[in-house]
Amino acid sequence: MSYKTQMEAAKKGIITEEMKVVAKKEQFSEEKLRDLVAYGRIAIPANSNHKSLSPEGIGEGLRTKINVNLGVSGDCIDHTQEMQKVKMAIDLGAEAIMDLSNYGKTNTFRQQLISYSKAMIGTVPMYDAIGYLEKDLAKISATDFLKVIEAHAKQGVDFMTIHAGINKKAVESFKRTNRLTNIVSRGGSLIFAWMEMTGNENPFYEYYDDILVILRQYDVTISLGDALRPGSINDSTDAGQISELIELGSLTKRAWERDVQVMVEGPGHMAMNEIAANMALQKRLCYGAPFYVLGPIVTDIAPGYDHITSAIGSAIAASHGADFLCYVTPAEHLRLPDLGDVKEGIIASKIAAHAADIAKGIPNAREWDNKMSDARRRIDWEEMFSLAIDGKKAREYFESTPPSDDESCSMCGKMCAMRTTNKVLKGEKVEFL
């Protein structure tokens, strides 16, 4: 029985090779996984032309996944460094990488990325359109935009952010809201500018069915971009954000009708007390489709530390239903991240994802923590380093100020609570001098 997409196969009752890989990774029933793919509750982004891919599932009942953004800009054109970031991201266990390059002819780097990466690859074709087509924004036609989408799909991109929800109706809601930070989505601002300069409807909305035909051909998952996501906690959960979200729900169903897998993107900045309600609202309005969030960043006053503000929001969001986290680095709002920033962002995001998986009751999520706790009780440093999410850093900290003996660290010395309790329980005398 033939099929074009994972969703089409699932609807036909077929368990694909990709589903088998995901089920094994997740210790999940193949049949249940297939059914949730058929219903749209789980997506397995897997372009038929991405031959190096190790498939991952995103959605209900699965581990929370993370995405790493990278790519060149006009001020930082170094594809070699970007490939170093790719290798680091994969080594640290990131499940997805988005190439957000927005300068020059990016297709050569993207092809190298797709050939090398076992992680899912995502793009935002809108970013690439100006450089790819070598045209001013207002002179790009709807047909031109579709050409860029098809070029990315042919190369092997597994998922694409398409800002299709910011139609004229959503723009009117945005204009009435009088936001503090207006539009902070790069792709969203470009679409808004194109619409205002040409007077036309959003081409990704107007020609949505044509886009779905392209995506279905290569089994590209559509990630419905939130062009009107809040860029400050002042603007969260406003009319612009919610009006676009309603449109994204309608677009989700239309994609599923064409057997195209869907993820829905979510808010950027948001106070902690609004996050749980927003997760529930998105799941309700978008029929349980996997939810992909950037942050949410929970306070606006910490440039240089937004990997922390984001990790706080990500952990809350994922524990209340978000399925996919876009990492944020310390360089957010400031500059293109370097290798150190990328590492800090990945680790912060992985901590948030794992903490949420424990809260969600994902099978075996706690086992990792229990093994670490047991190693701490036994004061087995080598085992602790092997279990640490960043064992290299843990070792460096421990060895930077070595203890007098290996039954403690330099903070407590012989007064280590573990050491004291272990000795007492073994009937040994506790001595400090």
Residues comprising the binding site for Zn(2+)?
A: 269, 333
Q: Token pair for residue 385?
A: 């380093």
Angle among Cα 409, 412, 416 to the nearest 5 degrees reads 85
d(CA 243, CA 173): 7
Phi, psi of 423 (to 5 degrees): -65, -45
CB atoms within 10 A of CB 62: 26
Task: Identify whether the C-beta of residue 67 lies closer than 8 Å to the C-beta of residue 324.
Answer: yes
Torsion angle of C-alpha atoms 432, 384, 86, 350, degrees rounded to 10: -90
Please give the annotated binding residues for [4Fe-4S] cluster, written as ranges.
Answer: 409, 412, 416
Please give the annotated binding residues, written as ranges.
Answer: 69, 98, 127, 163, 185-187, 226-229, 265, 269, 292, 333, 409, 412, 416
How many residues would you count in the chain?
433
Among 210, 238, 230, residue whose Cα is nearest residue 222: 210
Among 427, 403, 428, residue whose Cα is nearest residue 416: 403
d(CA 248, CA 282): 9
417, exposed or middle or buried, with CB in 10 Å at 0-12, 13-18, 19+?
exposed
d(CA 181, CA 184): 7
CB atoms within 10 A of CB 142: 16
Partnered with residue 67 across adjacent β-strands are 96, 326
d(CA 349, CA 129): 29
Helices (H), 258-296: 272-285
Q: How far is CA 240 from the centre of its chain?
A: 23
Please give the annotated binding residues for substrate, written as ranges.
Answer: 69, 98, 127, 163, 185-187, 226-229, 265, 292
Q: How far is CA 8 from the centre of its chain?
A: 24
Give buried/exposed letters for 211-245 (b at 16+ CB in 10 A, else e). bbebbbebbbbbbbbbbbbbbbbebbbbebbbbbb
Task: Identify whether the C-beta of residue 135 lies closer than 8 Å to the C-beta of residue 141.
Answer: no
d(CA 398, CA 229): 42
Cα 23 to Cα 58, 347, 391, distances in angstroms: 12, 25, 28
